[in-house]
């Protein structure tokens, strides 16, 4: 598979304030097959829109790609509570990613009301499509609803044997539901039935409060110095 580099400039780190990051973006020459996506995920890549990236920062190695062993995953007590709290009240539907007013409103509420937006501006329909709908691999959307009301959305990339959680957002009014936890457990239960192997959770950074929760999903491995190894 050939890639064309489209961006490789230093920028403010999104995970460690005051640090400088380098997240080069690469465009694949064509859509990735399932096996090719598995290989790129194993190499530490993430996807944004039609592009792939992985941290190649000059002086920092804090970012560690993390993946959960789907067959071996056993929910903790708090993860089981989140599952029981929601499974009888919410419905889940797996389909093709799309953008509409309902999704945009939910995405913007999640970003702005939870203080996750660096710009403080609402995302546009075009930007949402470019980031979460346009893709270079097989991508699905999982919508979670309470009756007709949209509660949360997950975007997943699916390879031949592995899956990657691209992004998850939920209604801030439903924070007590622990939707991030529930969706991860629900998605791994579904992936286990499909005989998937790894569930990639993106990047783990030990001193970033927004990312350390990922280590709570066990057993998991993290990519450190080019080697995947099980971590505590």
Residue 119: per-residue pLDDT: 84
Read off the pLDDT band of 13 (50, 70, 90). Answer: very high
Q: Which of 40-49, 111-120, 161-170, 192-201 has the lowest mean pLDDT?
A: 111-120
* Residue 120 pLDDT exceeds 90: no
> Model pTM?
0.97
> To 5 degrees, how large is the angle CA 40–CA 44–CA 216?
125
Mean pLDDT (the chain, rounded): 97
Give percent of the chain with pLDDT exceeding 70.
Answer: 100
* Residue 1 pLDDT exceeds 90: no
- Taking only the tens place, the pLDDT of each residue in 54-88 is 999 999 999 999 999 999 999 999 999 999 999 99
CA 232 to chain centroid, in Å, comes to: 21
As given in the structure block, the two tokens for residue 119 are 């710009």
Residue 232: per-residue pLDDT: 79
Residue 118: per-residue pLDDT: 78
Could you give the domains of the chain? 3-231 (3.40.630.30)
Residue 224 Ramachandran class (φ > 0 left, ψ -120 to 50 alpha, else beta): beta
* Residue 6 pLDDT exceeds 90: yes
* Residue 16 pLDDT exceeds 90: yes
- Taking only the tens place, the pLDDT of each residue in 152-202 is 999 999 999 999 999 999 999 999 999 999 999 999 999 999 999 999 999
Residue 108: per-residue pLDDT: 98
Read off the pLDDT band of 117 (50, 70, 90). Answer: confident
Q: Is 127 exposed, middle or buried (0-12, 13-18, 19+ CB in 10 A)?
A: middle
Neighbours of 108 (CB within 10 A): 17
Within the chain, what is the greatest distance between any pair of CA atoms? 49
């Amino acid at each position: 598979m050939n890639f064309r580099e489209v961006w490789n400039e230093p920028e403010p780190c999104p995970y460690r304030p005051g640090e400088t990051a380098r997240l080069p973006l690469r465009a694949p020459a064509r859509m990735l097959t399932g096996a090719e996506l598995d290989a790129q995920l194993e190499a530490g890549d993430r996807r944004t829109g039609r592009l792939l990236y992985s941290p190649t920062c000059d002086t920092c190695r804090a970012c560690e790609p993390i993946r959960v062993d789907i067959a071996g995953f056993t929910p903790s007590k708090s993860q089981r509570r989140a599952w029981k709290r929601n499974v009888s009240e919410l419905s889940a539907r797996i389909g093709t990613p799309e953008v509409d007013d309902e999704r945009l409103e939910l995405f913007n509420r999640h970003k702005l009301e939870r203080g996750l937006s660096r710009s403080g501006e609402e995302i546009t329909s075009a930007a949402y499509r470019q980031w979460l709908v346009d893709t270079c691999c097989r991508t699905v959307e999982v919508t979670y609803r309470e009756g007709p009301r949209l509660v949360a959305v997950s975007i997943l990339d699916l390879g031949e044997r592995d899956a990657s959680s691209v992004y998850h957002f939920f209604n801030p009014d439903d924070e007590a539901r622990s939707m991030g936890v529930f969706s991860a457990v629900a998605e791994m239960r579904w992936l286990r039935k499909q005989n998937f192997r790894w569930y990639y959770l993106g990047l783990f950074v030990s001193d970033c409060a927004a990312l350390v929760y990922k280590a709570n999903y066990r057993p998991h491995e993290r990519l450190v110095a080019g080697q995947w190894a099980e971590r505590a």
